[in-house]
Each structure stands twice: as structure tokens, then as C-alpha cells.
Amino acid sequence: MTATLSVNLNAIAMLRNRRDLPWPNVISLGRIALAAGASGLTVHPRPDQRHIRFSDLPAIRALIDDEFPQAEFNIEGYPSAEFLELVAENEPEQVTLVPDDPQQSTSDHGWDLEREADFLRPVIQRLKRQDARVSLFVDPHPEAPFAAKALGADRIELYTGPYGGAHDDLRRANDELAKLEMTGAAAAQAQIGVNAGHDLTVANLPPLVRKLPNLLEVSIGHALTADALVHGMSGAVERFMDALKA
């Protein structure tokens, strides 16, 4: 089964927020991405709203409900009280919990699931009562899928930043890919779903897909937005979907 593509809209929103103007229009570009075949849209609403604004969330929810009911809304973030309220109000199909500090420019590490177990377990239970699929952002390690499963999560999202960051070092890229492959195999044993995200590109997706036959979804924003500057949003989505089939 080919993994699906969720387009992360944060980079588009960040560009919009450079001016007090409504363009580039997050909703219009989300519509183009879904029409081109993306299976969903991802956002990461940070407390300072420097990327996606809280006011964007109802509009994205409405876009999916009204025009693309087969698509999914994935909201990711640190499970603060404010974040959990946003989730309750906007009813995403999937919630991806990440251990971000509010000041981080982007996600750069996964959860320490042993240390944070008592914090995460009731959050996961609350989200599942709201009929949300819950994914935990984790560093590649073969113990992570079992720990996530024990906490009640439905999926893990593998942090692929070190793999993407090794774009100019084949040996290091292969080392990072081996870690991801080992974790994916452990996830199959633990019977937990696998997502992946961070610094994934048209070039590095095919090797990842080949090593992770149980990969269900990738969430991609930065590289896809960069590709859209050259190929347009529809063209960029099509390129990434082709890379998922390679």
C-alpha cells in the first residue's frame, strides 16, 4: 500500500505572515493541494501563531468538510491546555503530539516516552474519546513503537530530520536510514502505525519508502513549498506523490 501525503501548510502561512495581507492564501493553496491528490492537510499552531494562526483552523476544517470529505485534517503540537482546546474545537481526524518548546523554530526531537509517560497517557485518552487518531512524534529507536503502543497511541511519527539533514553525505544518510528501518520493523512487531515527517524531499523519499513497507503517511511542508515555487502547488504535490510510489 502506498503511503499517503499530508501537506503541511505552515511554511505557506509563515510567508503570508510577513505582511498584514491575505496572501499567499493558505486555504486556496490547501484546496489546490487536495485537488492535486494530497490525502490531507497538516498544521502546527504554535502559541505565538508565527505560522498557522488559530483563526485558520476553522477555515481548513470547513474546506475539508465541504469540498474534500475524504481528506484528513492533522493538527500537530505540544499538548498544552490551549492546544487541546483548539483540537476540541476543530475536530481533526489525527492529532500528532510533539514535545516542542514554544520557542523552537521547528520540531527537532521526539518524545522521551518513558519520562513523559504519566503526562502523555491521560492526554492520549482524552483525544481518543474525541475520536481522534493519536500519533506520537518519536526519534528512531526500536523501543519507541512499543512504548507508544503501551501509552495507547495509534501511530508513531518518525522524526526524519537527521536523515533529511544528511542530503550531502551519503554514508550518514544510510546510517540514519538504517535507524528508521529498524524502528519501522519494530513498529510492525508492536502493531502500531507508522507516519514520518521532517525534511523529506522528492529525492530522499523513495529510499525511505523502500525501507518502510508499513509506512502509512508522510507530512511534508518545507520542501514541498519550496518545490511549489518552481512547479506550482499542483506540480509539487504530484512530484511528491510520484516519489511515494518509487
Query: What's the chain's length in residues?
Result: 246
pLDDT of residue 105 exceeding 70, the answer is no
Task: Provide the mean pLDDT of the chain.
Answer: 96
Q: Is the dihedral of CA 222, 224, 227, 231 positive or negative?
A: negative
Compute the distance between CA of residue 134 and CA of residue 136 in angstroms, rounded to an integer. Answer: 7
| Model pTM score | 0.96
With pLDDT > 90 as the criterion, what percentage of the chain qualifies? Answer: 93
Residue 72 backbone phi and psi in degrees, to 5: -120, 145
Which position has the grid cell 488559530? 54
pLDDT of residue 217: 98
Integer angstrom CA distances of residue 11 from 40, 54, 100, 193: 16, 15, 17, 26
Tens digit of each residue's pLDDT (9 = 90 or more) over 120-178: 999 999 999 999 999 999 999 999 999 999 999 999 999 999 999 999 889 999 999 99
Residues 6+ apart with CB under 8 A from 159: 107, 108, 109, 110, 137, 138, 139, 140, 197, 198
Q: Which of 63-72, 95-104, 228-237 has the lowest mean pLDDT?
A: 95-104
pLDDT of residue 246: 77
Which position has the grid cell 492529532? 95
Compute the distance between CA of residue 81 and CA of residue 86 in angstroms, rounded to an integer. Answer: 9
* Bridge partners of residue 75, in order along the sequence: 43, 95
pLDDT of residue 103 exceeding 70, the answer is no
Catalytic (active-site) positions: 44, 76, 198
Tens digit of each residue's pLDDT (9 = 90 or more) over 13-33: 999 999 999 999 999 999 999
Nearest 5°: the CA angle 133, 71, 10 is 80
Tens digit of each residue's pLDDT (9 = 90 or more) over 58-97: 999 999 999 999 999 999 999 999 999 999 999 999 999 9
Specify whether the backbone of 232 is left (phi greater than 0), alpha (psi in -120 to 50) or beta.
Answer: left
Tens digit of each residue's pLDDT (9 = 90 or more) over 201-210: 999 999 999 9
Average pLDDT, integer, range 2-12? 97
Residues 6+ apart with CB under 8 A from 81: none
All structural domains of the chain, each given as residue ranges with its CATH number in brackets, are 4-245 (3.20.20.70)
Radius of gyration of the chain (CA): 17
Average pLDDT, integer, range 27-47? 98
Average pLDDT, integer, range 42-55? 96
pLDDT of residue 1: 76
The answer to whether 134 and 128 are in contact (CB under 8 A) is yes
Amino acid identity for residue 86 in this structure = L
pLDDT of residue 102 exceeding 70, the answer is no
